[in-house]
Amino acid sequence: MKKLLLVEDDQFLGSLMKNRFVKEGFDVAWALSGDEAIAKLKGGNIDLILMDIILPGYSGFEAIEKIMADPAAGKTPVIVISNLGQESDIARGRELGIVAYLIKAQTPIDELVRQVREYLKV
């Protein structure tokens, strides 16, 4: 079973995404902030991170920078799922080494699940 770390501070959306991925057969850890995401990464093997950008504490970008700098966690692939969709945001994500940048308002949950499955080859 593949393990995802979902980093989303919106309770409704986070619950919706977590429940859908659990239904699809994934083990899902959920963090409500960038700080919490970094702490949860230390606790176990995460196969993929789904990261929002606008978060309390560390922003998603700051959390990604810290994750990528950590020798143990830095190899964990990150997909950004955010409503920040300006070219500068997408470029910053790519510079940080993310594998995909998805715009929440333009990405139905079925497409999100498909992309995660495709990336993890499950």
pLDDT digit string (tens) for 92-104? 999 999 999 999 9
Alpha helices in the chain (DSSP H): 11-23, 34-41, 60-69, 87-96, 109-120
pLDDT digit string (tens) for 42-89? 866 899 999 999 999 899 999 999 999 988 787 899 999 999 889 999
Instruction: Write the CATH number of the domain with boundaries 1-82.
Output: 3.40.50.2300
Domain residues of the chain, as ranges?
1-82
Q: Please report the pLDDT score of residue 118 as a whole number.
A: 94
pTM of the model: 0.95
* Helix, strand, coil % over all residues of the chain, rounded to 5: 45, 20, 35
